[in-house]
Amino acid sequence: MFFLIVGLGNPGKTYRHTRHNLGFWVVDRLAECHGITVGQKKFRGEFGSGAIGGKRVSLLKPLTYMNLSGAAVTAAVSYLKIPLEQVLIAHDDVDLELGRVQVKSGGGHGGHRGLRSVIENLNQDGFARIRIGVNRPAGDGKEVSDYVLEPFGAAELSTAGGAVGRAAEAAATWLEDGLTTAMNRYNSWPGKES
């Protein structure tokens, strides 16, 4: 059985430290923790394969820019012949508080353009996803599309890094123990209402 974990983001130094690139951060963390090299140019992205918890897995960071992420995901899913229940997408989410991680399956795109591209290209949304909270912009009239392309502030970086670590752990749990276990373990928000 083969699995695919995709992190959504934008390529290049300009976007590396932005809120919109948390999906890339998760793939990088998984690669680092599990000795997987994600450097092969394949499926319109950076790609690598290895094992996590005894499961065969491929990691993908689309290089198509966020709004066209679906082209890369569809190419990988089609070529590797991976059923959607064995696909996980990691992405930022303005509807969750900074630092919060939520694992789920299906449920539409919620306005996230990268997810929308994936769903439109696959023509279904039955894949798992890990949402990583970045907050909505404060009430200063800033557009969400501009806000997510800004780098984290110094005070936010530690919280964002912690969330990326939990998201990577959640992805490994999804691989090893399944969706329900990952949801039960990581969707709670200590000290907050779930």
- Catalytic residue annotation: 20
SS3 state of residue 174: helix
Instruction: Determine the Cα–Cα distance for residues 111 and 155; give it in Å rounded to an integer.
Output: 27
Handedness of CA 121, 17, 133, 46 (dihedral sign): positive
User: Residue 154's CB: how many other CB atoms inside 10 A?
Assistant: 7
Q: Tell me 18's DSSP state.
A: B
Instruction: Determine the Cα–Cα distance for residues 134 and 20; give it in Å rounded to an integer.
Output: 9
Q: Tell me 81's DSSP state.
A: T
Task: Give CA separation, 115 vs 108, 141, 153, in Å.
Answer: 8, 24, 25
Q: β-strands 40-42, 55-62: how paired?
A: unpaired
Q: How many Cα neighbours within 13 Å face the side chain of 41?
A: 3
